[in-house]
A and B are shown apart, each in its own frame.
Chain A
Amino acid sequence: MDDRPLRIAGPKGSLYPESVELLGMAGLDVSGLADPGRQLRISAGDVEYIIVRPSDAPIFVAYGGADCGLCGKDSVQEAGLPVVEMVDLGFGACRFVVAEPECSCYSAQESYRNLGVLRVATKYPNITKDYYDSKGMQVEIVKLAGNIELAPLIGMADVIVDITATGTTLRENHLEIVDDVMESTARFVANPASLRVDPRVGELAESLAAAALKRGRSAPIAGSDQPGIK
């Protein structure tokens, strides 16, 4: 049954270079990944890579489109689908924060007191909902696809929940961080059924864990200036 290639979902975008590096360190043939052009499926011996958006990786893996994949913890959390989180790969560190306009004339808390509901703009509605549910706060979530920082500045939302690596974009838009929601790094995730029937998934997890450890020693992750997930 192992004549079929092991299908690995790799994230395009900012997580891509480090994902390829780690897969290579784990002993896989990644030569075809250096410059895939517009190819979305890349065959390399007994593995096949598919290149997907990081937020789609858990969907491909959970529904069996891929046996395993690499993506941010944020994508796993947002998708809320049954995948096995196997390894923390250490790179792509960023955090989820709540931010609001820094001008003193405005207070999101005051608005919440008056209206009993907070308007939150985000790209991550599920993570946002879980966070406010855990605080017992009622919120109205506006899902946007990008430029979230704009929403509170023009009065469309009171606060934003967004991802940040350094906080620069937030500062440039006069937003200040008021709370931490969660931290995220890249993960190796597996389809539960593939993990049980295909020993290559577990083996790859072990090699990736060793590679991540090795890489982590030479380039510390915590507080590093690695780019976040865009």
Chain B
Amino acid sequence: MIPQTPRGFRDVLPQEAAWREDIREAVQDCFASWGYMPIETPALEVQDVMTAGGGDAGHFLSLFDIDGKLLTLRPDVTLPIARMVASRLGDDQGPFRFRYCEQVFREEASLRAQSRVNTQLGIESIGLSGSGADAEVIALFMDALEACGLEEYTVAIASVEVLRSLIAAAGMDQSWNAKLLQAYHSSNLVELGELVHLSDIDPAYASALLKLPRIRGGKEAIESCSQLLAKLPGRKGAQDPCASLLATWKILDATGYSKHLVVDWGVMSSFDYYTGLVMEAYAPALGASLGSGGRYDQMLEAYGRDLPAAGFAFSLERVMQALVEQDKRVQMRRVHRIDASGDTIAMFREAKRLRGEGLRVALDYAAPKGGKGGRDGR
């Protein structure tokens, strides 16, 4: 037998584990400084409970327990927290601010070189809504990425309300709407173009639907989206779905958070269960997003609670990859070695004193072979 780990799982050796620990602690301190409380949920959940909340069972890593019950390894932490709020917190209206750092699991086909476990750092803000609450979630996402030591990153934001109201106002049938959303969700701009061109949709709506995913920039990207919608026939006097994003932007801009922020109406392509704000974070040369989040006010309804909710999660592994790309590998804290092979009691005492000063100290009980030095646990 060759003692291997299962495909997509691996051991983390001390040097990397120590680095991971440093980042986790820095991020948790950052979350805590905004008043978020730690929370832990079980590694295993009942599969039906996760799918009821909108989880995609196609990527669940599931198993049967001895009772024949179908369980799944936690696919994310948002669904378990929603379940917990509904089942454990009674009628408490909150607001709740939770933070976590957990492994999440995702089934992947073989031959794709993908890990089946990821470490997610994230928060949930439950019972809060409005542009202040949205701005808080975005600002905290950026603070957390900075706490990791990242200097180059981008957080792209948008709001799904825009696409929803565009589709609703276009007045097409259900099956066309579903296909259009599908094209958006799978980022298929070719399909999007075909759907729009082959339909009898009002040309003004057609051009708006094709323009929307290509609008990108700062505050002006929100304004050009507002103008795009205002010009549409039959939308006079209708509520501007960009208004709340604009208010959020103003808070962030006034408090120094706009440097790494872009508005990108193509971002909503990645989402389907969000109800308002959506966001995604990127680092250069990574080839994948660092993490994502947004507002999902209807998710708790699946578990019988009616509370607004927003949050985000990002991957510790991806952040570390981005840090390596940016040459931001931190120096490990040194472990000092003391030769305690002679007067062990005295050296025990000395080590204790040094630890009291904040040093990391390990003792050697056998005389060092061939001069000084030796393994220092790194």
Contacts and interface: CB of A to CB of B under 8 A. Distances in A.
Interface of A: 1, 4, 63-65, 73, 82-88, 187, 191-198, 202
The 6 residue pairs across chains A and B that have the minimum distance between CB atoms: A64-B287, A84-B187, A1-B284, A85-B188, A85-B190, A88-B190
A221 B156 CA distance: 37
A63 B267 contact: no
A25 to B, nearest CB: 19
A197 B287 CA distance: 10
16 contacts: A4-B285, A63-B113, A64-B285, A64-B286, A64-B288, A82-B187, A85-B190, A88-B193, A191-B287, A192-B270, A193-B288, A195-B266, A196-B154, A196-B289, A197-B283, A202-B214
A87 B190 contact: yes
Interface residue SS majority, chain A: mixed
Contact of A196 (B214, B280, B285): B280
Contacts of B154: 196-197
A85 B266 CA distance: 13
Given A84-B189, A85-B189, A87-B189, A197 B264 contact: no
Given A82-B187, A85-B191, A192 B284 contact: no
B189 A86 contact: yes
A196 B264 contact: yes
B249 interface: no
Nearest to B113: A63
Interface in B263-290: 264, 266-267, 269-270, 280, 282-289
Nearest to B270: A192
Interface of B: 113, 152, 154, 156, 186-191, 193, 214, 216, 264, 266-267, 269-270, 280, 282-289
Contacts of B266: 195-196
B187 A85 contact: yes
Contacts of B267: 196
Given A63-B287, A65-B287, A193 B282 contact: yes
Contacts of B289: 192-193, 196
A87 B280 CA distance: 23
Contacts of A197: 154, 282-284
Nearest to A206: B214
A162 B357 CA distance: 72
A65 B286 CA distance: 9
Nearest to A87: B190
A17 B224 CA distance: 40
Nearest to A61: B287
A4 B266 CA distance: 24
Contacts of A1: 152, 284-285
Contacts of A196: 154, 156, 264, 266-267, 280, 282, 289
Given A64-B288, A196-B156, A196-B289, 9 more contacts: A1-B284, A84-B188, A85-B190, A85-B191, A86-B189, A191-B287, A193-B288, A196-B267, A198-B284
A192 B216 CA distance: 14
A187 B194 CA distance: 14
Contacts of B156: 196
A101 B216 CA distance: 53
A135 B283 CA distance: 42
